[in-house]
Amino acid sequence: MPIVQRPSAGASLLGGSIVLPVNECHHDVPQQSVSPWTGEPGTAGVVAVVGAGKMGLPLAAQFAGHGWKVIAVDVQPAVVAAINEGRSHLGEEPGVAELVARSHAEGRLRATTDGATAARDADVVVLIVPVMLDAGHQPDYRYMDAAVDSIAGGLHDGSLVVFETTLPVGDTRGRYQPRLEAASGLHTETDLFVAFSPERLYSGAVLRNLSSYPKLVGGLGPASTERAARFYDSVLDAEIVAMSSAEAAEFSKLADTTYRDVNIALANEYAAYADRVGVDIREVIEAANSQPYSHIHQPGIGVGGHCIPVYPHFLLSRAPELTLVARSREVNDGQIQIALASVRDSLGGLDGAPVLVLGLTYRHGVNELAYSRALPLIEALAAAGARVSAFDPLMTDAEIRAVGAAPYAWGTTSDARAIVTQTGDPQWLSLDPAWFPDLALLVDGRNTLAGLTLPEHVRYRGIGVPRRG
């Protein structure tokens, strides 16, 4: 596909969920293997992908599937061993296991813990390791710094280094360019090319995303931008957007994820008002989004995951004057206290009260606890004296105990007086109130159970959904 300066696809003013079409592959696979790789169309080289986790391994498999030789680099020996046996350690990512097995069998995918050697053997190094938050909600660079240091000594004349991990604006140039140059003795735009290209992926649909979402690329100079854009054009079937700078690309990812956080906060405030005036926020949002300029998201018990609760703080770490961003974080995190107050008020107190939490992962169907709102919910309930039990179909009893709750066995009788759903797992639709003879309250944290038949004495409390009972 052509490399462009502005996205030509994906912009839509229609309300509701937007699903972009999958692009057909336009490459001749395998492409001509060359060494060194300098960006000539139709050619492939060697790429090292540093961080073979839930996003890194699909990237490695995608690159290998387009004819590149791929070296996956990871600090976990078990991950490296699995890849070197042709196995994916990601259980729930569609298509990845098959692509890993095929790429390994064809000799295009291997793994190592040695970042410097991998960088020495590679034409391109893509870094995708976590940058999360520390206790003060500041960026925690420990893993990325270590990853950069691990590959810097192996860089050589012509190396292209691309950061896919989301970073605060300016970090590619201000934090990592000096580090790379100092360790390698190379000079950016002369014999070293450095760019930022944010991953824009959704767990459970990574390979589809890679073939549909426009790929944003911004370098530390025009030569870096061009080299990085040519690399992605050789391994992706999506449109490649060559942006004006690394900073513009960094900001674009933060703008995207922060927009969603702000939008959800607005939906949560709308939901609180809907409760006051006695209307159903779902009806309101559906009606509002029938106007093409409205795209209101859904309210809920809070926002979890690796991205949306984290990246607004990357903006705030550099621009604390963004008060709307800060307020949105407060609103979304505050949803837990609203749920807690509902349980306390309905039960007449929480001391000794049995409460069941359904759904511990940050999103149903994804076995990840990253910033899951279940964790502070359980902590707050326990601190108020409640006896907390929990169930999640993706978690073992030992894992549930580790987060401070007693395991509940689905379908068994429980003395729970309140149930709080933290995910919208479809399994909750089969919940039978007869399992809970003492139940007084159901807090529907994702507004998925409004149609569930409850005994008259059980109160229903959705997020902006009219109360029953």
Whole-model pTM: value is 0.92
- 25 tagged catalytic: no
- 307 tagged catalytic: yes
The catalytically annotated residue of 54, 69, 215, 253 is 253
Boundaries of CATH 3.40.50.720 in the chain? Answer: 3-244, 280-469
The catalytically annotated residue of 54, 69, 215, 307 is 307
User: Tell me: domain 3-244, CATH 2.30.30.20, correct?
Assistant: no
Query: How do 159-163 and 139-140 pair as beta strands?
Result: unpaired
Pick the CATH number of 280-469 from 1.10.3720.10, 3.65.10.10, 3.40.50.720, 3.40.109.10: 3.40.50.720
Q: What CA–CA distance (Å, rounded) separates 413 from 77? A: 43
Judged by phi (left if over 0) then psi (alpha if -120 to 50, else beta), residue 91 lies in alpha
419's CB contacts (< 8 A; 6+ apart) are 355, 356, 357, 358, 431, 436, 439, 441, 442, 443
Q: pLDDT in tens for each of the 469 residues of the chain?
A: 677 776 664 444 444 445 677 877 777 666 899 999 999 999 999 999 999 999 999 999 999 999 999 999 999 999 999 999 999 998 778 889 999 999 999 999 999 999 999 999 999 999 999 999 999 999 999 999 999 999 999 999 999 999 999 999 999 999 999 999 999 999 999 999 999 999 998 888 888 889 899 999 999 999 999 999 999 999 999 999 999 999 999 999 999 999 999 999 999 999 999 999 999 999 999 999 888 888 999 999 999 998 999 999 999 999 999 999 999 999 999 999 999 999 999 999 999 999 999 999 999 988 889 999 999 999 999 999 999 999 999 999 999 999 999 999 999 999 999 999 999 999 999 999 999 999 999 999 999 999 999 999 999 999 999 877 5
Helix (H) or strand (E) holding 337: helix 335-347
